[in-house]
């Protein structure tokens, strides 16, 4: 591993900091923290932490000695001054005299001693940093180091790899106990460069930022050299079997890793998937699957993202999807049972009182194909997958130099259910569509875009499909979460299937399809050319059928129900003169919606439609509004609000109606009217 320290960059950082009133040491602390955070071989997503001992002025204007320590869960790659809250050092150090400190007391003491009372909570490893005497302390979970220390004889391997430069601290869970043990070991053996925290990570220190950082890089390089020197010869695994594509496998995995809600009939707890199928992952699954399947985290804080062991599935061989689906459901069921037993056993040992987390898998291994990370959002699923990839790399190297050994079950439980670790995941209330995946067609149009925004705001992951990809991408920029924009022409069956395959491969499946794409054609029905009528049916009827069919196929593979939503029109109920080419397929669309409700109700798939009228959109442009208002002798405002309530109806109103239908778990075959009141178009 090479040092990324560039003296000119560091000097520039110090100069820029000085203009903003930031002291040089803090600027350098931020610079080297970001260097460490930028390498996934050192830390991943909020793991690891750094600190600086310096002085600061408190609210009374008095200068005091402080520890600037990374905030709990903050990402080192993106750190700034606010991510390194300052805590009074003396009160932290006084804690060393105590025998034990309760978690709540520790957090209270930290918060009471923050220089800025509004600052985020310091890292859970704050005391480890506070007790060490060095000005700069860096702590990472470097992968090559983990491969050496996650071993039955980790201490011996460390002595061989690092000599006396790092002292070995046996495993203890992070917190007060580990901090006390670490300073005892340090004072006894006075290592020159830092500490190894058994089965957890590495600490380096120094009088300057560069010294602490470059010691970290040098130690990690020694670990890499040790692995290279000691690697046992091994056979290269080759994959000869042909797997089903990810798009076909993912919905089966996702469905099996969902859980029925015991409180709300028809509701499911679902997860979003992130797939990794690189050559390294696939070959590791061939050669080390047995070891990986036994599980065990490579460093304790991964447990909150990955759980302690993965779900291992059989090969998904081509043409044998039914067998794979059966085996997947059985394996997922066995996983849940095993997790519940583990919780019951360990909760009892720990004195009871813990609340069980959901028992669903977070990492799924499919030999021959790759791995899935699972979480409640796409962003978090990608974090889980990143951690799982690094976990595989560490275990594989550990097996090359010896035998991978993780912490014991009781130790894993203590970390997984440690309130300070759980706090990193946040406690915010989840939005109503969390874990669900929604597809919107015609997503670049006014109603489609408003619907995509409304569903994302309600917590769904959203795929925006439109025949105009650039316009869909434009809309995706203003949708929250992690939207996926795809080109899709609903008049082309191949285009629809390809788009749904991409969605299934990207998010893991589909729960809600809002079939919205449409366009209007006019003509007096007795005289209109047949090809006009056919064109309109192709888009305004068959387009919906293709989308619904593709969505239902995925929903059935998941086995967790779903929801089809159609944009019908007032024309479906109340035809307008010379508007037959548009109204007739829309009338057929209402019948289509009812047919889906009828044929798939037993599968928990609901089908509903929104009947909206007079919305400013691509179908009713500003020019059309002006000309129609003029033709009727009305102002534009009066024309647009020409309904019983005299209120203009907007695309957002239609989006809210779709959202309501998605959430109404006991409603199917429903038409919701959003038109301000038009008695001729009232449903009867």
Catalytic residues: 582
Tell me how far, at minimum, the Cβ of 289 lies from Zn ion, in Å.
28
Site for Zn ion in 102-131 (CB under 5 A): none
- Closest to Zn ion by CB, 73 vs 508, is 73
Task: Pick the stretch among 113-121, 193-201, 431-439, 676-684 that binds Zn ion (CB under 5 A).
Answer: 193-201
408: which 2 tokens? Answer: 């014991």
Binding residues for Zn ion, rule CB under 5 A, total 1
Tell me how far, at minimum, the Cβ of 11 lies from Zn ion, in Å.
30
Residues 6+ apart with CB under 8 A from 447: 516, 567, 612, 615, 617, 651, 654, 655
Task: Pick the stretch among 104-112, 199-207, 438-446, 627-635 that binds Zn ion (CB under 5 A).
Answer: 199-207
Site for Zn ion in 355-394 (CB under 5 A): none
What is the b/e burial string over 176-210, where b = at least 16 CB atoms within 10 angstroms of the residue's CB? bebbbbbbebbeeeebebbbbbbbbbbbbbbeebb
- Closest to Zn ion by CB, 302 vs 376, is 302
- Closest to Zn ion by CB, 176 vs 521, is 176
- Closest to Zn ion by CB, 201 vs 580, is 201
Tell me how far, at minimum, the Cβ of 124 lies from Zn ion, in Å.
8
- Closest to Zn ion by CB, 201 vs 575, is 201
3-state secondary structure of 253: helix
What value, to the nearest 5°, has the Cα angle with vertex 564 and ends 563 and 565?
115
589: which 2 tokens? Answer: 């669309």
CA neighbor of 593 nearest in space, from 585, 624, 274: 585
Residues 6+ apart with CB under 8 A from 428: none
Tell me how far, at minimum, the Cβ of 48 lies from Zn ion, in Å.
6
Q: How far is CA 605 from CA 425, 545, 548, in A?
A: 32, 15, 11
Task: Pick the stretch among 198-206, 233-241, 399-407, 648-656 that binds Zn ion (CB under 5 A).
Answer: 198-206
- Closest to Zn ion by CB, 201 vs 361, is 201
Alpha carbon of residue 373 to chain centroid:
9
- Closest to Zn ion by CB, 201 vs 368, is 201
Q: What is the CA radius of gyration of the chain?
A: 30
Distance CA 198, CA 200 (A): 5
Per-residue x/- mask for Zn ion, residues 294 to 313, rule CB under 5 A? --------------------
Distance CA 554, CA 243 (A): 18
Q: How buried is 354 (Cβ within 10 angstroms: 0-12 exposed, 13-18 middle, 19+ buried)?
A: middle
Distance CA 534, CA 560 (A): 36
Distance CA 418, CA 176 (A): 13
Q: Do 594 and 545 form a contact (C-beta atoms < 8 A)?
A: no
Chain residue whose CB lies nearest Zn ion: 201
Answer yes or no whether residue 580 interacts with Zn ion by CB under 5 A. no
Which strands, in side-by-side order, build the sheet including 272-276?
Answer: 272-276, 370-375, 363-366, 311-312
- Closest to Zn ion by CB, 147 vs 608, is 147
Supply φ then ψ for residue 578, to 5 degrees.
Answer: 60, 20
- Closest to Zn ion by CB, 122 vs 201, is 201
Task: Pick the stretch among 9-17, 196-204, 582-590, 632-640 that binds Zn ion (CB under 5 A).
Answer: 196-204
Tell me how far, at minimum, the Cβ of 140 lies from Zn ion, in Å.
8
CA neighbor of 661 nearest in space, from 480, 513, 481, 461: 513
Residues 6+ apart with CB under 8 A from 58: 64, 88, 115
Q: Do 469 and 487 form a contact (C-beta atoms < 8 A)?
A: yes
Tell me how far, at minimum, the Cβ of 102 lies from Zn ion, in Å.
21
- Closest to Zn ion by CB, 201 vs 581, is 201
3-state secondary structure of 169: strand
155: which 2 tokens? Answer: 């201490």
Among 194, 201, 251, 310, binds Zn ion (CB under 5 A): 201
Rule CB under 5 A: which residues touch Zn ion? 201
């Amino acid at each position: 591993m090479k040092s990324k320290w560039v003296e000119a960059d560091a000097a520039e950082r110090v100069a820029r900091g000085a203009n903003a009133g930031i002291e040089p040491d803090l600027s350098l602390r931020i610079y080297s923290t970001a260097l460490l955070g930028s390498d996934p071989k050192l830390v991943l997503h909020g793991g690891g932490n750094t600190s600086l001992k310096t002085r600061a002025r408190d609210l009374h204007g008095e200068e005091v000695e402080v520890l600037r320590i990374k905030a709990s869960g903050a990402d080192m790659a993106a750190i700034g001054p606010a991510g390194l809250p300052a805590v009074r050092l003396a009160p932290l150090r006084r804690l060393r005299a105590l025998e034990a400190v309760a978690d709540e007391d520790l957090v209270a003491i930290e918060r009471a001693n923050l220089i800025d009372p509004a600052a985020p909570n310091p890292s859970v490893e704050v005391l480890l940093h506070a007790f060490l005497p060095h000005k700069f302390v860096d702590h990472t979970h470097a992968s090559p180091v983990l491969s050496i220390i996650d071993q039955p004889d980790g201490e011996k391997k460390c002595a061989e790899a690092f000599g006396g430069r790092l002292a070995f601290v046996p495993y203890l869970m992070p917190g007060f106990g580990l901090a006390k043990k670490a300073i005892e070991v340090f004072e006894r053996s006075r290592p020159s460069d830092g500490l190894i925290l058994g089965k957890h990570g590495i600490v380096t220190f120094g009088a300057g930022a560069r010294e602490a950082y470059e010691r970290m890089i040098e130690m990690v390089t020694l670990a890499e050299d040790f692995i290279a020197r000691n690697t046992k010869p091994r056979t290269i695994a080759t994959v000869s079997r042909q797997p089903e594509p990810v798009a076909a496998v993912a919905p089966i995995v996702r469905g099996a890793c969902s859980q029925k809600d015991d409180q709300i009939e028809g509701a499911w707890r679902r997860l979003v998937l992130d797939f990794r199928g690189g050559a390294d992952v696939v070959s590791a699954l061939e050669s080390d699957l047995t070891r990986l399947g036994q599980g065990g985290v490579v460093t304790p804080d991964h447990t909150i993202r990955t759980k302690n062991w993965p779900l291992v599935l059989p090969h998904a061989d081509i043409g044998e999807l039914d067998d794979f689906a059966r085996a997947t459901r059985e394996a997922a069921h066995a996983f849940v049972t095993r997790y519940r037993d583990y919780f019951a056993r360990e909760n009892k040992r720990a004195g009871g009182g813990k609340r069980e987390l959901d028992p669903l898998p977070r990492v799924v291994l499919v030999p021959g194909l790759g791995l899935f990370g699972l979480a409640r959002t796409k962003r978090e699923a990608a974090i889980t997958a990143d951690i799982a990839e690094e976990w595989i790399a560490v275990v594989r190297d550990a097996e090359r130099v010896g035998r991978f050994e993780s912490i014991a079950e009781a130790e894993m439980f203590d970390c997984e259910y440690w309130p300070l670790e759980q706090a990193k995941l946040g406690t915010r209330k989840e939005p109503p569509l969390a874990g669900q995946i929604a597809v919107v067609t015609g997503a670049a149009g006014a109603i489609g875009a408003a619907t995509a925004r409304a569903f994302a705001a309600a917590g769904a992951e959203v795929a925006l499909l439109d025949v105009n990809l650039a316009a869909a991408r434009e809309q995706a920029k203003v949708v929250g979460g992690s939207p996926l924009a795809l080109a899709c022409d609903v008049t082309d069956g191949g285009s629809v299937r390809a788009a749904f395959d991409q969605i299934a491969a990207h998010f893991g499946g589909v729960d809600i399809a809002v079939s919205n794409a449409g366009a209007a054609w006019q003509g007096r029905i007795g005289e209109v050319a047949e090809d006009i009528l056919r064109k309109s049916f192709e888009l305004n009827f068959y387009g919906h059928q293709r989308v619904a069919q593709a969505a239902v196929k995925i929903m059935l593979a998941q086995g967790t129900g779903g929801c089809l939503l159609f944009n019908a029109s007032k024309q479906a109920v109340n035809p307008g003169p010379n508007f037959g080419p548009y109204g007739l397929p829309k009338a057929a669309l209402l019948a289509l919606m009812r047919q889906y409700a009828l044929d798939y109700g037993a599968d928990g798939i609901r089908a509903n439609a929104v009947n909206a009228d007079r919305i400013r959109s691509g179908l009713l442009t500003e020019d059309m509004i002006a000309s129609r208002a003029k033709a009727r002798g009305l102002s534009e405002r009066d024309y647009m609000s020409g309904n019983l309530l005299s209120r203009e109806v907007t695309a957002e109103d239609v989006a809210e109606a779709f959202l309501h239908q998605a959430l109404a778990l006991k409603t199917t075959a429903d038409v919701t009217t959003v038109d301000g009141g038009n008695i001729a178009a009232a449903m009867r």
